[in-house]
């Protein structure tokens, strides 16, 4: 098994990676059920739970056991990066050609987040065809909190 840094050390490395790519280094962790994309706009339900950091750490631990982890910037808020942790949930999710290890990635293009308050507006978006389409095509590329638990 390959040696992996602790979650905190990995996040520090990710912040250095973001800084080198001129992206804000403050991180807001997001998961699949809290976001979606429609026509180049990236929507996130706010406020995001404070427990997202704990969930990201748990996802990182799962990834260590799978020996593949990606920490990814998926969008940006005005002053921070929206980031998520990914690991292969099943053997079929393992990317071909990726040696085991830790990767830092930045989604291209990296959209600015459009914040939607949790409540009736977010509920309307969740019922939309665009929301369902995004989630059916995102597959396991962005994990849900249920998959991490």
Contact 30, 82 (CB under 8 A): yes
pLDDT band at 52 (very low <50, low <70, confident <90, very high): very high
Q: Alpha-carbon distance 44 to 8, whole Å?
A: 24
Q: 81-86 and 101-117 as β-strands: parallel, antiparallel, unpaired?
A: unpaired
77-130 residue pLDDT tens? 999 999 999 888 777 777 777 778 999 999 999 999 999 899 888 888 888 888
Of 107, 52, 50, 42, the closest CA to residue 77 belongs to 42
- For the chain, helix (H) and strand (E) counts, in that order, are 5, 6
Least confident residue range of 11-20, 50-59, 90-99, 130-139: 130-139
Residue with tokens 């339900």: 45
Quick one: pLDDT at residue 139? 53
Can you give the pTM of this predicted structure? 0.85
């Amino acid at each position: 098994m390959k040696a992996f840094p602790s979650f905190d050390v990995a996040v520090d490395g990710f912040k250095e990676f973001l800084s080198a790519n001129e992206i804000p280094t403050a991180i807001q962790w997001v998961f699949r059920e809290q976001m979606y994309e429609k026509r180049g706009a990236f929507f996130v339900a706010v406020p995001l739970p404070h427990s997202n950091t704990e969930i990201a750490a748990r996802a990182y631990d799962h990834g260590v056991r799978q020996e593949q982890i990606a920490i990814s910037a998926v969008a940006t808020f005005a002053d921070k990066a929206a980031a998520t942790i990914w690991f292969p949930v099943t053997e079929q999710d393992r990317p071909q050609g990726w040696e085991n290890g830790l990767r830092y990635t930045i989604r291209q293009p990296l959209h600015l987040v459009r914040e939607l308050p949790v409540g009736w507006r977010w509920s309307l978006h969740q019922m939309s065809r665009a929301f369902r389409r995004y989630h059916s095509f995102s597959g396991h590329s962005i994990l849900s909190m249920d998959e991490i638990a």
